[in-house]
A = this chain, B = another copy of it.
Amino acid sequence: MREDLLPIEKLIAYFQKLGGVGYKTAQRYAYKIIDMDKEDVTEFADALLDVKQNIHYCKICGNFTDKEVCNICNSRKSDIICVVKEPKDVFAFEKVKSHDFLYHVLHGCISPLENKGPDDIRIKELLERIKGGNVKEILVATNPDVEGEATAMYIAQILKPLNIKCTRLAQGISMGADIEYADEVTLNKAIESRTEM
C-alpha cells in the first residue's frame, strides 16, 4: 500500500481488496464510514482485528470457530456427518435447522483444472474421523457441479470398503422453480429420481 495516500484514498483501496468491490462502491463505503458514529467505527475496526486474531479452523470439522473445537462438534451428538465444500455451506444447513448432523468442511473440491487432488482437501481428516468414532452415514453435500460430483464420487469410492453408508443430497427441480425453464440435466435427474406419491 502506498504511504503517501490520503487516509480516505487508503481506506478506499482497502475496501477494494474485499473482492468484487470497484472504486465507486469502495468510495461509497468510505463516505459511509465518515458519516458513521465514532463508536461504531471503533467497534468495526475491533471486529476486523478480532476476526483475524481469533477465528481459525475447528480441529475436528474444519469450520470457522473462535475456540479449539467448534460449538457444533463440542455439543452435538450424531452419527451422520454432512460433508460440505466451504464453511458457508454449514451456515446454509444450520439455517434450515431440520437435522442434527455433524459437519466436515473439505475447504475445496477435487479439481484437475485447478490442480487440486484428494490430498489437497480435507479427505484424510474425514477418514480419520470415521475410524475414530461411531459414524453411520456420510451425507455428501458438495455442489452439483463437475468438481462437486467428482469429489462425491471419490468419497463414495473410498468409503465402500469401510462399510459406511454414503448418501448424496437429492437432485431435482427446486421448489418454486418453473419447469419450463429447468435445464435438461436437472429435468433428467428429476425424472430419474422421481418418487411415488
Question: Contact: A51 with B28, CB < 8 Å?
Answer: no
* Docked CA distance A27–B14 (Å): 17
> A29 within 8 Å of B by Cβ?
yes
Question: Contact: A51 with B18, CB < 8 Å?
Answer: no
Question: Contact: B44 with A48, CB < 8 Å?
Answer: yes
> A54 within 8 Å of B by Cβ?
yes
A36 to chain B, nearest CB (A): 7
> A160 within 8 Å of B by Cβ?
no
For chain A residues 10-50, which have a beta carbon within 8 Å of chain B? Answer: 10-11, 14, 17-20, 25, 27-34, 36, 38, 40-50
Interface residues contributed by chain A, number (CB under 8 Å): 43
A66-B6, A66-B7 given; A52·B28 CB < 8 A: no
Across-interface contacts of A38 in B (CB, < 8 A): 52-53
> A88 within 8 Å of B by Cβ?
yes
Sampled A-B contacts (28; CB under 8 Å):
A7-B47, A7-B50, A7-B66, A8-B64, A10-B50, A14-B43, A17-B36, A18-B28, A18-B32, A19-B28, A19-B32, A27-B91, A30-B51, A31-B87, A31-B88, A33-B48, A33-B51, A34-B51, A34-B52, A34-B55, A36-B52, A38-B52, A41-B49, A42-B49, A44-B48, A45-B45, A45-B46, A45-B49
